[in-house]
Amino acid sequence: MKYKKIAFSSHMVSNAIIYKRRIKPLLDEARKYNIEIVNFHEDKEKIDVLIIQKLPESVKELKEILRNNSFLIYDNPNYLGKILNKNFPQKTYNFFKRILLTIIRRKWHPYILLEKLVEKADLITTGSKKQAEFFEKGFSKKTFNIVDPINNIEFSGKKKEHKDTEEIKILWEGTESSFLQLEDILPPLINLSKKYQFELILFTDIIEEKSIELFSKFKNNLNVKHIIWDKNKIDEVILSVDIAIAPIDVKDVFNYSKPFNKLLIYWGYGLPIVCSDIPSYSFATQAGDKGFSCNSSLEWEKSLTKLIKSTELRKKLGENGYNFSWNEYSQERYAERFFNKINEFYKDK
């Protein structure tokens, strides 16, 4: 490798998913590549590559990062979406809002600091090709995408054994704020319920006021079971179902650009998937090899019908997905891709 030492700056707390998924695997695999990886806040000596995942919390921290003069990578697309605005009015509104908050709090707004950091970044990483295209154009920066590995996400990876069953169980898992994305698939689910017996499992947080109307529609029209999200129940819930669904609001540009991490988790358990037709999901499902991507109510209904009717098809697609996840998106493959990509773009300063 052209570089020998990487430092990272991330929120290393128990719920810091992006650290666990994207930095921890590099730490575990670095020795194989003769690379040293350190915490930037503990060791700033002779760093070749600096990976930033968090928002700068102060001008002092921003200056400290830029003063280091290493090859700078920004690795958190969730924050990047907050500073990239498509139109002038929105950009102007956000600018004055952040300046006002800076004055009120007597502290620079973190997104203002992030804009300065991204200006100086040598490389931006994202989770999907669509995100990479979007941010490369928006920031005029070199960008590459890399999908999170499967075996560093906190679940056991036990495999579903598909058997004939009288009542199929279909799973949707997500945050309460994303529950509204299920609205478009309610009609095909209602149509299916008139022909087949199935239970819809909603594995999510407590439903709040903004989602209660849609939740009531699901409860009134379908056989629904709501299980409050709990990380200790992930294995139990996922292994108890037969099919997983991943609907997305494709009208939202950031949703449309999502990576296929969610699919990898389901496939990691051997579940077949029906999902929305966004670029990353369509690439991953590969025309019915591991699941089905849909762009209409009719396609949702037809795809779910195939899986409800056939145990063998559920088993086949689940098996394909399982092998795809654990063979192609293991921690080892992730580290190999990431280190090689850095090597490809790296320039000694």
Ranking 116-120, 217-221, 315-319 by mean pLDDT, the lowest is: 116-120
Q: Output Rg (C-alpha) for the chain, integer angstroms.
A: 22
The residue assigned the tokens 């991204």 is 118
Q: Based on the domain organization, do 200 and 140 belong to the same domain? A: no
The residue assigned the tokens 């979007």 is 134
Q: Based on the domain organization, do 71 and 100 belong to the same domain? A: yes
* Residues with Cβ within 8 Å of residue 30, at least 6 apart in sequence: 6, 36, 37, 335
**Model pLDDT, residue 191:** 97
Task: Tell me the angle at which helices 311-328 and 297-309 cross, rounded to the nearest 10 degrees.
Answer: 100
**Model pLDDT, residue 322:** 93
Two structure tokens written together for 69: 């003069």
pLDDT at 13 over 80: no
Q: Based on the domain organization, do 295 and 260 belong to the same domain? A: yes
Q: How far is CA 196 from the centre of its chain?
A: 32
**176-220: pLDDT as tens digits:** 889 999 999 999 999 999 999 999 999 999 888 889 999 999 999
Q: How many domains does the chain have?
A: 2
pLDDT at 14 over 80: no
Looking at every residue in the chain, the average pLDDT score rounds to 88
CA atoms in the 13 A half-sphere facing the CB of 255:
14
Mean pLDDT of 239-268: 91
Q: Based on the domain organization, do 183 and 92 belong to the same domain? A: no
Helix ranges (H only) for the chain are 17-22, 24-29, 59-67, 77-83, 88-105, 110-120, 129-139, 186-193, 209-221, 234-239, 253-256, 261-268, 279-285, 297-309, 311-328, 331-345
* Residues with Cβ within 8 Å of residue 106, at least 6 apart in sequence: none
**Model pLDDT, residue 96:** 58
The residue assigned the tokens 């449309």 is 256
Is there a contact between 51 and 75 (Cβ–Cβ < 8 Å)?
A: yes
* Residues with Cβ within 8 Å of residue 244, at least 6 apart in sequence: 170, 171, 172, 173, 238, 266, 271, 272, 273, 274
**129-155: pLDDT as tens digits:** 988 888 888 888 899 999 999 875 566
Mean pLDDT of 116-123: 91
Q: How far is CA 203 from the centre of its chain?
A: 17
Is there a contact between 77 and 131 (Cβ–Cβ < 8 Å)?
A: yes
**Model pLDDT, residue 333:** 95
pLDDT at 94 over 80: no
Two structure tokens written together for 105: 């709090």
**Model pLDDT, residue 12:** 59
Question: What 3-state DSSP class applies to 38?
Answer: strand
Query: What band does 15 get if pLDDT is binned at 50, 70 and 90?
Result: very low
**Model pLDDT, residue 251:** 84
Domain with 252, as residue range(s), is: 168-328
pLDDT at 19 over 80: yes
Q: Based on the domain organization, do 25 and 126 belong to the same domain? A: yes
**Model pLDDT, residue 104:** 66
pLDDT at 8 over 60: yes
Q: Is residue 267 part of a domain?
A: yes
Q: Determine what percent of the chain is predicted with pLDDT higher than 70.
A: 88
pLDDT at 84 over 70: no
Query: What band does 112 get if pLDDT is binned at 50, 70 and 90?
Result: confident
Of residues 338 and 112, more confidence is placed in 338
In whole angstroms, give the CA distance from residue 50 to residue 63.
14
Q: Is residue 161 part of a domain?
A: no
pLDDT at 92 over 80: no
Q: Is residue 12 part of a domain?
A: yes
Q: Based on the domain organization, do 27 and 141 belong to the same domain? A: yes
The angle subtended at Cα 48 by Cα 45 and Cα 52, nearest 5°, is 90
Mean pLDDT of 292-301: 96
CATH assignment at residue 138: 3.40.50.2000
**Model pLDDT, residue 172:** 98
**Model pLDDT, residue 105:** 63
Question: What 3-state DSSP class applies to 72?
Answer: strand
Region of 72 please: left (phi>0), alpha (psi -120 to 50) or beta: beta
* Residues with Cβ within 8 Å of residue 56, at least 6 apart in sequence: 62, 65, 110, 113, 114, 116, 117
Q: Based on the domain organization, do 173 and 321 belong to the same domain? A: yes
Mean pLDDT of 251-272: 90
Q: Is residue 159 part of a domain?
A: no
Mean pLDDT of 233-248: 95
